[in-house]
Amino acid sequence: MQALRQHLGLTQRELAERLGIRQQTISEWETGTYKPRGASTTLLSIIAERAKFEYQAAPQKPPEES
């Protein structure tokens, strides 16, 4: 999360304002206290894609073996 924000050249406060969330939420994501979920995950993935930044909001589960 922090790497994406820095790639965008934004402070935690600036990113929070653009996403319409609290700066504290960005901080909690970056420290691992909480993880983005729901619409936030989708939005962060779209932002990363448009910024041409490889970002995975939620780790993908490895394929299950049959």
SS3 of residue 20 by DSSP: coil
Q: How confident is the model at residue 57 (pLDDT cuts 50, 70, 90)?
A: low
Domain boundaries, the chain: 2-50
In the block, residue with structure tokens 């299950």 = 64
Tens digit of pLDDT for each residue in 22-41?
Answer: 999 999 999 999 999 999 99
SS3 of residue 6 by DSSP: helix
pTM reported for the whole predicted model: 0.79
pLDDT recorded at residue 55:
77
Give percent above pLDDT 90 in the chain: 79
2-50: CATH class: mainly alpha
Q: What are the Cα distances from residue 29, in Å, to 3, 63, 64, 65?
A: 12, 26, 28, 31
Write out the two tokens for 42: 């989708």
